[in-house]
Structure formats: structure tokens, C-alpha cells
């Protein structure tokens, strides 16, 4: 498994993480198979959130992981908080502290390697978040911190009040969600791809050594479905198959290789609970697409160059 530097540190993390959003749909033995498949492929990074499955995903993970022969220190475990389902976003100190205690209990852990704030809260008080982070770190409950779906100004605002460096920003990125790179190639144009919806965060991340974590790497739309083997995307699947045949892997691996080919050292979140899909996706970390192959996939996905 390809390894990358985490944020501004010298710590090494895998270029892929296992997202456990759908683990609530699995039994404990099935969850163990998925975790083991990821671990055996070099993916020793877990990404979770307190809202996944209403908390059941973390409960299943906790039960599964506690019975496995993998040492806690061999696994980097991250969770997210801040979304109160159907009600609000909440970055209050009280909510953050309480959520972490509940996460640790569900996952049967003494600490999290990383806590990520899950989507921006319009009522965020950066000083209050800073107090929560300091308390969590001092108590040994969280080692590192990050955010999810923050634009550059939001990221800078929060960072200005923290004593810790933010390590991560989770952002949607895939062959069918390319806004972060479209606008740069359509600079000085007036077409739709020229619109910068992410305030140039990818460039900011490269300049300030922030690890971008790409979520929904095989999805189109928000959560509308996968583009892999989808009849709605014939040109893209034809190109994926062509390269899959060349590199002797599955289409998931090629779609993953496309993300990891970007020089920003992006970490990709694999959300599948299917051991075969996990193993195939992991193979993408060993493939370095040529520049032409990367652009061929970009164009086959329905994008165009000015």
C-alpha cells in the first residue's frame, strides 16, 4: 500500500482508508472479514462518524475489532462529529466532548487517533471548538484533529484559534465529482466548469500541507449510486475497462488510481464492506497512470478541456 505523509507531520498513513458508514448493515463476523481484508491490503486507517447507522456502525466495529488479533496501535482510527441528524449542526464544546465519550464507548476504545468535524456549523465559535480540542487532547482522548467539507476561509478561521494544526479536510472527489480541479483548467472562462465552488482548497492544502480525504470515490451525485458498471456511463466504463485490462485489475482499482495520481497526496476513503471490492480498490494504490490515461478518464467521465 502506498503511504503518504499525514498533514504537516512526518507520520506515515496509507493512501487509502476504510470508511465504515455501511458497517451497521453487517454482522460482527462480516465486519471482521471487511476489516481484515483492508488490513491485509495495507489499509490500517479507519474512518467513521457518530451518525453512521445511528451509531450502530461504530458499535459493530467495536465488537468486531475487540475480538480481532490486530493491535490497537497498529490501526489509525478516526471518527467524525457535529451532525445532529435532521435537526442541526453542532460544534458546541458540550456536544463535541459528549460525542467523543459516546464514540469511544461504542467503538470500545480508549482514544481516537483523529477527530473530524462533520460539515460546517454556521454557528461555529472557533474559540469554543479550541477549548474542546484542548480538553480532549489533554485528556488523551484524541491525538489529532481535522474537518470535513470546509472551504478555505472556514478552515483558516478555525485554524486561527487552535493550538493544534488541522490535519485533514474531507471533500467529495471522484471521476464524477471533479469540481476541485475543473475550475483551474477553465481559468478565465465563463462556462460552468470555471466556477470555483471550493475556494481553491486543493491548492491551499498543497501549500499548507493539509491532507485531503476523498469521500465517495466511486459515486456520482451525492449518494445517487456508483458509476462503476453503470449503464448510464458507457464511455467512462469502457475506458475504465480498457485500463483495467491493461493493468490486470478491476475497474475500482483504476478509478482509485485516478484519484491517487493527483500530486496533492490525497487519501481516498473506501466505503465498501465487500472484501473483494476492498482488495481491488487497494490495488489502485500500486498503479501510476500516465498523464494521457489520467486525462482520457477525465474526458470519458463527461468533462471537457477549453
DSSP result, 194-213: G--SSTTHHHHHHHHT-EEE
How many degrees, rounded to 5, is the angle at CA 292 between CA 201 and CA 176?
45
pTM: 0.95
**The pLDDT value given to residue 222:** 78
The pLDDT confidence band at residue 224, using thresholds 50, 70 and 90, is confident
Strand runs labelled E in the chain: 3-5, 12-14, 16-19, 45-47, 76-81, 83-84, 88-89, 112-118, 142-148, 166-172, 211-215, 219-220, 225-226, 267-270
Percent of all residues in the chain with a pLDDT value above 70, rounded to a whole number: 100
**The pLDDT value given to residue 103:** 98
- CATH classification number, 10-300, choose in 3.40.50.150, 3.20.20.70, 3.20.20.100, 3.40.50.720: 3.20.20.100
Q: What is the mean pLDDT of residues 9-31?
A: 97
Which tens digits make up the pLDDT trace of 272-298? 999 999 999 999 999 999 999 999 999
**The pLDDT value given to residue 177:** 95
Does 141 score more than 90 pLDDT?
yes
Residues marked as catalytic: 52
Contact 46, 61 (CB under 8 A): yes
Amino acid at each position: 500500500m502506498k503511504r503518504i505523509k499525514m498533514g504537516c507531520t512526518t507520520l506515515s498513513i496509507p493512501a487509502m482508508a476504510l470508511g465504515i458508514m455501511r458497517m451497521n448493515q453487517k454482522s460482527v463476523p462480516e465486519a471482521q472479514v471487511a476489516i481484515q481484508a483492508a488490513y491485509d491490503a495495507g489499509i490500517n486507517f479507519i474512518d467513521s462518524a457518530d451518525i453512521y447507522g445511528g451509531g450502530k456502525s461504530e458499535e459493530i466495529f467495536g465488537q468486531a475489532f475487540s475480538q480481532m488479533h490486530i493491535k490497537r496501535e497498529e490501526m489509525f482510527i478516526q471518527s467524525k462529529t457535529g451532525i445532529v441528524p435532521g435537526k442541526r449542526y453542532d460544534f458546541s464544546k458540550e456536544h463535541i466532548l459528549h460525542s467523543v465519550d459516546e464514540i469511544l464507548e461504542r467503538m470500545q476504545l480508549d482514544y481516537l487517533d483523529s477527530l473530524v468535524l462533520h460539515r460546517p456549523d454556521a454557528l461555529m465559535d472557533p474559540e469554543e471548538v479550541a477549548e474542546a480540542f484542548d480538553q480532549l487532547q489533554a485528556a488523551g482522548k484524541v491525538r489529532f484533529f481535522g474537518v470535513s467539507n470546509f472551504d478555505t476561509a472556514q478552515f483558516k478561521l478555525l485554524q486561527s484559534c487552535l493550538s493544534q494544526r488541522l490535519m485533514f479536510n474531507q471533500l467529495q472527489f471522484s471521476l464524477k465529482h471533479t469540481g476541485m480541479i475543473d475550475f483551474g483548467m477553465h481559468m478565465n472562462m465563463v462556462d460552468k466548469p470555471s466556477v470555483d465552488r471550493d475556494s481553491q482548497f486543493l491548492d491551499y492544502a498543497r501549500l499548507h500541507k493539509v491532507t485531503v480525504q476523498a469521500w465517495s470515490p466511486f459515486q456520482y451525485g451525492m449518494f445517487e449510486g456508483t458509476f462503476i458498471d453503470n449503464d448510464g456511463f458507457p464511455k467512462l466504463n469502457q475506458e475504465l475497462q480498457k485500463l483495467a485490462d491493461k493493468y490486470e485489475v478491476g475497474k475500482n482499482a483504476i478509478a482509485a488510481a485516478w484519484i491517487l495520481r493527483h500530486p496533492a497526496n490525497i487519501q481516498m476513503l473506501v466505503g465498501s464492506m465487500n472484501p473483494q471490492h476492498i482488495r481491488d480498490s487497494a490495488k489502485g494504490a500500486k498503479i501510476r497512470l500516465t498523464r494521457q490515461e489520467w486525462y482520457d478518464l477525465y474526458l470519458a467521465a463527461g468533462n471537457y478541456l477549453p
